[in-house]
Amino acid sequence: MSSWEDAYKTVPPWDVGRPQPALVELVRAGELNRGSVLDVGCGTGENALYLARNGFSVVGVDLSDRAIASARAKAAERRLKVEFRAGNALSLEFKDNVFDNVIDSGLFHTFPDNDRPVYAREIARVLATRGRYFMLCFSEKEPTNWGGPRRIRKEEIETTFSPLFKINYIRDASFATRFHTNGGKAYLTSATKIPTKPADFFHEDSAGRYRAFFPHDDFSDS
């Protein structure tokens, strides 16, 4: 934890003072399920506060106490209701199936290989059935000459999440930082939690019909 605390003694490069453009586009496109959102690795809260301003019920979690204190101060100043709490993304202190969405802006690419399946299981655990997971990470297309976190290949994302999620897409995106004029080269992933209980394999669509769930379904009409 000390390394993350140290990062927030100043303004870290990923703290750009505004929500990530990729998240803004997701909200404008209506891709998030309406309802609750967990912002895991929320930092000082810009993404979470943007979501709250747009009508979502938001909880933000970060390993850094300094980041959480800053996020709470922003929420109070802007008169926005967001629950910010310190916590570990590998051991989330939430009940099962409680969030309609989870967003991850720059967290996944910090994990070593052995933590990735643990993280994927925790995200799947706290998501409701057919809940949505959105993840923004640096891609292997981003140059490495400036250092920074690991670069991620599409295959790594698929390997980590496909056992528990239907991958809707992995597409090129931009990751805003204080080091980049036009953002770093990134991947934006959208995934839907796959049901695990028999009763969860059916859902009621917008016309009141019950449909069976298959991993290729996108539920765009529900």
Instruction: Tell me 63's DSSP state.
Output: S
Indicate whether 31 belongs to any domain.
yes
Helix (H) or strand (E) holding 95, with range, is none
Indicate whether 220 belongs to any domain.
no
What is the residue range of 112's domain? 2-6+18-212
Indicate whether 218 belongs to any domain.
no
Indicate whether 11 belongs to any domain.
no
Indicate whether 182 belongs to any domain.
yes
**C-alpha to C-alpha distance for 57 and 35, rounded to whole angstroms:** 6
Indicate whether 132 belongs to any domain.
yes
Please report, in tens digits, the pLDDT of each residue of the chain (222 residues total): 457 676 766 666 667 789 999 999 999 999 999 999 999 999 999 999 999 999 999 999 999 999 999 999 999 999 999 999 999 999 999 999 999 999 999 899 889 999 999 999 999 999 999 999 999 998 987 766 555 668 889 999 999 999 899 999 999 999 888 777 677 889 999 999 998 755 454 455 556 554 544 444 554 444
Indicate whether 62 belongs to any domain.
yes
The CATH number of whichever domain residue 198 belongs to comes to 3.40.50.150
Domain count, the chain: 1
Check: CB of residue 53 under 8 Å from CB of residue 75. no
Amino acid at 103: I
**C-alpha to C-alpha distance for 112 and 204, rounded to whole angstroms:** 39
Taking only the tens place, the pLDDT of each residue in 91-128 is 999 999 999 999 999 899 889 999 999 999 999 999 99
For 142-179, b/e burial (b = at least 16 CB within 10 A) is beeeeebbbbbeeebbeebbeebbbbbebeebbbbbee
